[in-house]
Chain A
């Protein structure tokens, strides 16, 4: 069985989906001959031809908009936006069309498209290449927003996203593209798009996170275990629609919750999760719900980005506060 890293798992899922279904097409900037700037689409052009693996002109609004057109005609476009920093011209098409084509036509037309984009900081990338703005997309009714954090989840979730009949924003944490290798069977098995993954069970505290921060959070859980604190770690994975149920069940058990995300704090997904806990889990909480997040600043350029990024130390400090609270 192949040992693959996260970006290779993405590639494997793309190839599998194209193999299975002739309607699946791949498009974007530099995805063909170059195989994608992160190599996510490498080999696809040779294998499936230029009719199905398309280098587009440099135009993101077009990439999103033409994906909608293709999807409505029955194709299953998987479009790559080279970096999340360049996805914003797509927002018009996503808000005004992709997310509501089905609703507007009362089901006559669907929009089975996937928009993939690498995101997140910590790799010393140039300006506009490091932000985490998943909450912008999570706010749009009608979209799914999916963020894998391991090779196997990348494979399974991307297959699910491609097979899903509705538009999916698939955000790939590029800091961990090549961090770990895992055996991932290329057997076409998809993962569900609307449940969280419990990565570690615990009883004292629930740590909720997604994307690259899963790794810092797991490290924090290890360190907590050394201190005799048992932390449960949940990878949200599908930030929209949010599986609040799994989080509530966990917090019912632990009574404490820390949400960790790289994105800026205000109006981030952490706020939504905290609101759901207040709403439906207040009586199981023994301490306030806390967030460890990026600051409400512009993402600093590489020389200062470490000031911004949440880290194990910050996570541990917040966990300690909650354990000491009650």
Chain B
């Protein structure tokens, strides 16, 4: 018998849950200048998140998917990307989207059920949030193929959950990315749950990162609650993709601290104890502790940050709530580049039927 192939999955962690370095941090990532922007973004996302839930509970927002506890991934991913890279997100990547320039107001609009929430004023090539799980993996490799065809130094970053890695779309995309050597990074936010289905019932594989090996490229597992680890893995993956080295899969291990969405009740299927334990690994705590250990953060900074996040979120809420709904004809006006003549009658009908008369 000859061994013809061997694979190993690396696990990366720099900060433990208490914010203590578990190994030497590469100098450019060790300093406060590298960490603070991520921390600030995580805090903003958490403030947004709490507000979104409060709005939903009071009937002022639609069903909402919280990213509580997963902010480090989005912050590190979003800030690692260049502006002309392309993000292909799922619905739980608020921090990454904010980093990319999607506005708080836009995400409020989206979750209120308003299409204008996906007409991003910032990143013009980023994809809208994908609700049908894993379907966006295919878009990501398509976008990467377009970039490769044109020889541009851009990278596509796809985000999805642990459940998504069970879908054919995901495997099919990994396969193509590997065989065509595409400039794409797959970021799997493994938050241990796909609604009520635990990670252990989703896949028999020891890691989700190892799915990359079947596609012919590298997968790494990182502590997704450690922004330094995520950032490190992303920097490597983006650099590899940008320089023609092909795709990478980054499995970021985290935990979904909230219900799946505001329409869910996780107490039906998971123990409160498990959630309490997971709270010990909260990414905010370790990031702050680490910054404090660098003497780069204190109570005053924290208070100022809280105030700033609260103010920005409040401004966005007010702008969102002051946005009147679209008129009925809006459902026709972006349907095609130009409305086909066959539909002008229906457009007029929709306006008439929805007028008060």
Residues in chain A within 8 A of chain B (CB atoms): 29-30, 32-35, 37, 55, 57-62, 85-86, 88-89, 124-129, 265, 295-298, 300-308, 313-314
Contacts and interface: CB of A to CB of B under 8 A. Distances in A.
Interface in B154-203: 163-164, 166-169, 194-197, 201-203
B330 interface: yes
Contacts of B350: 295, 297, 307-308
A125 B332 CA distance: 20
A55 B164 contact: no
9 contacts: A30-B197, A86-B132, A89-B168, A89-B169, A124-B113, A127-B129, A297-B346, A300-B115, A308-B331
Contacts of A308: 331, 350
B167 A59 contact: yes
Contacts of A86: 132-133
B131 A314 contact: no
A307 B351 CA distance: 9
Contact of B132 (A57, A125, A128, A304): A128
A65 to B, nearest CB: 10
Given A30-B197, A127-B131, A303-B112, A297 B168 contact: no
Nearest to A34: B196
Contacts of B346: 265, 295-297
A222 B46 CA distance: 51
Contacts of B167: 58-61, 89
B325 A304 contact: yes
Given A125-B62, A300-B331, A304-B331, 19 more contacts: A55-B196, A57-B163, A58-B163, A61-B168, A89-B169, A124-B113, A126-B113, A127-B131, A295-B332, A296-B346, A297-B331, A302-B112, A303-B114, A304-B113, A304-B114, A304-B325, A305-B113, A306-B354, A314-B353
A267 to B, nearest CB: 13
B201 A304 contact: no
B326 A303 contact: yes
Nearest to B162: A58
A297 B335 contact: yes
B115 A30 contact: no
A298 B331 contact: yes
Interface in B60-85: 62-63
A84 to B, nearest CB: 11
B113 A35 contact: no
B8 interface: no
B269 interface: yes
A125 B112 CA distance: 10
Given A303-B113, A303-B114, A305-B113, A59 B168 contact: yes
Interface residues of B, number: 43
The 8 nearest A-B residue pairs measured at CB? A302-B113, A34-B196, A57-B166, A301-B113, A58-B163, A307-B328, A297-B331, A303-B113
A59 B164 CA distance: 8
A34 B201 contact: no
Contact of B195 (A30, A124, A295, A301): A30
B3 interface: no
B343 A296 contact: yes
A302 B132 contact: no
A124 B62 contact: yes
Nearest to B91: A126
Nearest to B329: A307
B28 interface: no
Interface in B214-264: 261, 263-264
Contacts of B169: 89
B268 A34 contact: yes
Interface string B102-140: 000000000111110000000000000101111000000
A314 B346 CA distance: 13
Contact of A295 (B132, B166, B263, B331): B331
B190 to A, nearest CB: 13
Contacts of A89: 167-169
B42 to A, nearest CB: 24
A243 to B, nearest CB: 29
A213 to B, nearest CB: 15
B65 to A, nearest CB: 8
Nearest to A86: B132
A301 B166 contact: no
Contacts of A296: 343, 346
A301 B168 contact: no
Given A57-B163, A126-B62, A301-B114, A29 B168 contact: no
B196 A307 contact: no
Nearest to B115: A301
A297 B133 contact: no
A89 B172 CA distance: 13
B168 A307 contact: no
A298 B335 contact: yes
A296 B203 CA distance: 40
A187 B63 CA distance: 38
Nearest to A126: B63
B114 to A, nearest CB: 5
Contacts of B330: 300, 304
A33 B268 contact: yes
B88 to A, nearest CB: 16
Given A298-B331, A298-B335, A300-B115, A58 B354 contact: no
A116 B332 CA distance: 31
B167 to A, nearest CB: 5
A276 B108 CA distance: 47
B201 A57 contact: yes
Contacts of B133: 58, 86
